Structure 1
Amino acid sequence: MNLVKIFRLTLAAALLTAGTLAATSAQAQAPLKIGYTDVQYVLAQMPESKQIESELKTYNDQLAAQLKSKSGEFETKLKAYQQGGPTMTDVVKADKEKELQGLQQSIQEFQRSAEQSLQQKQQTLLKPALDKLQKNIDIVANENGFTYIFNSDGGGSPLLLHAPKDGDISDLVLKKMGITPGAAAPIKSGPVATPAPAAAPAASKTKTKTKK
């Protein structure tokens, strides 16, 4: 699973889905003033982003280590099955095949669970930073008389397709938080992934001899 896509979905769902209403009742009677900001650009420059990146990487590495351990156990037992197969009785062989198939299924379930867990971890880590960002967007919007603020994030489907440069409040928000504006890479972290284990052998049918 691509974490950059998860990150964009998180932003789309959690922040600025339709813009921020930043006017008081008095401002509501005045002509609309619309602004915009690139949420990903601002968030990437916040000091919290490095800590989020570090914690996500640590958590991802922990999940990857567990997955590697499970895959290693499967490969070891598969190799033992392949080497000892010719000398196994039908009953023992069928039992080993069943065990290998169970391990393979467990690995697949762990992979799915790990991806969901990683996404939830990211959402939890991002929330305080997103709340802080939202608060400062509101402050900047009020101070500068903006009625609505939209997200111009270039990733995914931006809410703003065209606007004048003077409507961009991204650097004002960064300065409000005491951050000197500059280019910064978005938060990234590799997904949990290890080479897929070899397929478990299909369960063989145990043959039972009947006495005549």
Structure 2
Amino acid sequence: MRVLKVFTVIFILFWSGSLCPSFAQELKFGHLNVQKLIAELPEKINADKELQQEAKKLQDQLEVMTKELDEKYKSYMAQRDSLSDLIRATREKEIQDYDQRIQNFNKLAQQSLSQKEQKLLQPIIEKVQKAINAVGEEQGLIYIFDTGSNVVLYNSPQSIDCEDLVKAKLQEMREAEK
């Protein structure tokens, strides 16, 4: 669907250029790889470290819980034949409940990490978008294509690589925040 939209836009632009050559000569396009740009930002690197630390804490807790479950299960198996039916059923229920708690913890941990990642990345993405918009306006660009999304069908040498411009704009914004 996105490819169809890009084809349509390009067709309209080339068609209007053939009817009005002076209009076509004024069109300026830019490109950059947004994923690469974001991955190299200090803010993203710090966010990744914070997310990894949180993931490690949750993984450590999950390992502790799993070890406890294994110990409960081994203890139960060693004593199973000597337990009365009521105690055996109670212990089995405890093991099942604890296993369910571990599964719930794992699910909640994944949700928590996902929410934290979104919370950490949202301001970075907004800042990058603001810088991209500023570069687009400053350079008089009609479109800036993201080369990392495989949507660009043709990348002319006349297309302006905006990555360095956006990096400079982000640096400018960082310095203005201080």
TM-score normalised by the chain length of structure 1: 0.64
Deviation at 1:177, TM superposition (A): 2.5
Q: Which amino acid aligns with 2:52?
A: K
1:147 deviates by: 1.5
Matched to 1:86, the amino acid is: D
Q: Which has the higher helix share?
A: 2
**Identity over aligned residues, as a percent?**
36
Describe the SS at the equivalent of 1:146: coil
Does residue 136 (structure 1) correspond to residue 128 (structure 2)? The answer is no
Alignment-derived partner of residue 184 in structure 1: none
* Shift in Å, 1:151: 2.1
Name which of 118, 122, 131 aligns with 2:117.
122
Asked whether the 8 Å contact 1:38–1:152 carries over to 2, the reply is: yes
Letter of the 1:61 counterpart: K
Which residue is equivalent to 2:66? 71
Which residue number in structure 1 is paired with residue 54 of structure 2? 59
Q: Structure 1 residues 118, 161: closer, same or farther in 2, change over 3 A?
A: farther
SS at match of 1:81: helix
Q: Does 1:35 align with 2:30?
A: yes
Local SS of the residue matching 1:150: strand
Q: Deviations over 1:99-128 (max 9, x none)?
A: 111111111122122111111101100111
Letter of the 2:48 partner, please give it.
E
Aligned to 2:91: 96
How far did 1:93 drift? 0.8
Q: Match of 2:150?
A: 158
Indicate if the aligned counterparts of 1:152 and 1:161 stay in contact, CA closer than 8 A.
no
In 1: Cα distance, 2:100 partner to 2:156 partner: 54
Find 2:162's aligned residue among 153, 158, 169: 169
SS in 2 for 1:164: coil
Deviations 1:159-205 (A, max 9, x none): 334322533311221122239xxxxxxxxxxxxxxxxxxxxxxxxxx
Spell out, residue by residue over 1:6-62, the C-alpha distance to the aligned partner (whole angstroms, 9 max, x if none).
xxxxxxxxxxxx9xxxxxxxxxxx544332221111112211122111111111111
Work out the CA distance in 2 between the residues paired with 1:109 and 1:143.
51
Relative CO higher for 1 or 2, CA cutoff 8 Å, sep ≥ 6?
1
Structure 2: stretches of 5+ with no match in the other structure = 1-5, 7-22, 173-178
Q: Which one of 93, 100, 104 corresponds to residue 105 of structure 1?
A: 100
Map 1:5-24 to 2 at 5 A: none
Q: What is the deviation of 1:158?
A: 3.2
Query: Aligned-pair RMSD on alpha carbons?
Result: 2.0
SS at match of 1:178: helix
Structure 1 residues 31-40 or 137-146, which shifts more? 31-40
Quote the residue 2:45 is aligned against: 50
Structure 1 gap ranges (5+): 1-17, 19-29, 180-212
What is the one-letter code of the residue matched to 1:46? L
Q: Taking structure 1 as reference, are residues 161 and 108 closer, same or farther at Cα in structure 2, changes over 3 Å only?
A: farther
Deviations 1:66-95 (A, max 9, x none): 211211211110011011111011111111
Kindly provide the amino acid, as one letter, of the partner of residue 85 in structure 2.
Answer: D
CA shift, 1:130, in A, is 1.1
